[in-house]
Chain A
Amino acid sequence: MNKAISIHLAQIKFSIDEKGYLKLKLYLKSLEQLFQSTLGKEEIIEDIESRIAELFSQYKNFDNYVISEKQVEIVIQTLGSIEDLAGDEILEENTNSKITRKFFRDPDDYWLGGVAGGVSKYFALNILWVRLVLFILFVFGVPFTILTYILIWIFVPEAKTTADKIKMKGEPVNISSIKNKIKEEYEELSDSVKKGDYKKTMGPIQNASKSSVNFFLKIIPIALRTIAFFFGIILVFISFLSLIGLIIGGTVGGLFLTSDIPFTLSLFGYGVEGLLIFLTCVFVFGIPFVFLLNLALILLTGKPKIRMNSASVFVLIGVWISTLIIIILIVTLGVINLENYNSIIEAITFSINKIPLHQFKITIK
């Protein structure tokens, strides 16, 4: 059994079979995307809707006639499929060929809010890596990661339009890229229509959880925005001061305070080891603060201020991981050394205790 859905097209009421309705809706939605940067978009869509209404009127023999899926298909064919129209459509020349990426949340590739998807598109990284890093961060700092994630979710806009999605990937926004993107989306959606996956095609029903989150976001955005703003300022201060502190502390510490380290590896000698330890500390703590600073600036201004491409991100993460490994190695080696040292002392004390007191002579020079 199929439901019939009532719609108004060009102020005329029609009843359409549910599947046909989905197809029509998808078609109109895709048209909107297609003409989105064309001058007079509303008028074009209106004209097309009015033509669809006219064609439907020819089918409508009596008042409650339900237009079938087949008839919707014929009408769409008459007007031209999205592929046909995309082939013919020459959008108002948008020769903005400079490739700049914009940070958006990716609505096509998400588990929660599409943050990881957005990050991966922005830095041109594989999303798996981004999720892995996110997971590691999550393991090491649960509240901080969650908070950051939520803040990005709130403040970074979702890539809604086709142009947004193209900008997100840093491809030039021009006719062919828009055309390709629309074709891709259309094929994806029509697949889901064919499979009867209505959830994907029905906008409002789409993901109850997602829309409830949206609802939640709509109630308290102002309060959250304020909080995030202060949070951002605090983060800027923390990360900025920490960076300066680390650099100064690292240099001074590395140069002068090395003798405070309670163990030695007997590898390079005291001074070199101290310097190494302080330098690795600077990297291990410093690199996250660079990211944190950038994040804070994103929170405050909506745009990343420290521009990083994927190479530099990789290098930074690489340096961070290797310094982390180095510092773990140094500390473990140091602890082992310390234990050996302790056991030697214990052995000496033990043997000292065994010697009868009268035989024990201490010579003081």
Chain B
Amino acid sequence: MNIENTKAQMRKGILEFCILSILKKKAKYSFEILETLKVSKILVVEGTLYPLLTRLKNSELLEYHWEESKNGPPRKYYNITKKGKEFLSELNVSWNELSNTVNELIKNIK
């Protein structure tokens, strides 16, 4: 067992949940998503985000449209799909359950 591996797996599962949450209200482009994630320290390096976005898009939880940018290449704006919203609300429920259970469990063992 490799601790880094476990951490990465944990983060990755949670990351998808976070991305969907960030996009819940408003379409954002990758850098805006990045900033939010960086503030909360959940994302260590930017490169991790792109495979995730692509995967979520391929699973039809996200969709994107292009917007021109004044400085730099055009940007992909991602927004959540209907399927994504359903997915997110399910994730929300299980997240609450899970975090409660895990916290309880840790507390009890102490």
Contacts and interface: CB of A to CB of B under 8 A. Distances in A.
A88 B8 contact: yes
Given A44-B51, A79-B46, A84-B47, A50 B73 contact: yes
Interface in B1-46: 4-5, 8-9, 11-12, 30-31, 44-46
Interface residues of B, number: 26
A10 B74 CA distance: 9
Contact of A80 (B30, B31, B46, B54): B46
A38 interface: yes
Contacts of A40: 51, 54-55, 57-58
Interface stretch (A52-60, A142-150, A351-359): A52-60
A35 interface: yes
A88 B48 contact: yes
A73 to B, nearest CB: 14
Chain B interface mostly: helix
A51 B71 contact: no
A90 B12 contact: yes
B50 to A, nearest CB: 4
B104 to A, nearest CB: 28
Nearest to A12: B73
B85 interface: no
A44 B52 CA distance: 9
B72 A35 contact: no
Contacts of A43: 54
A78 B43 CA distance: 11
User: Interface residue tally of chain A, by bracket?
Assistant: 20 to 34
B45 A38 contact: no
Contacts of A97: none
Interface string A245-283: 000000000000000000000000000000000000000
Contact of A58 (B5, B8, B50, B71): B71
B80 interface: no
A80 B49 CA distance: 10
8 contacts: A40-B51, A44-B51, A47-B50, A50-B73, A57-B72, A79-B47, A88-B12, A90-B9
Interface of B: 4-5, 8-9, 11-12, 30-31, 44-48, 50-51, 53-55, 57-58, 69, 71-73, 75-76
Given A57-B72, A79-B45, A80-B46, 10 more contacts: A12-B72, A40-B51, A47-B50, A51-B31, A53-B73, A79-B46, A80-B45, A87-B4, A88-B47, A176-B5
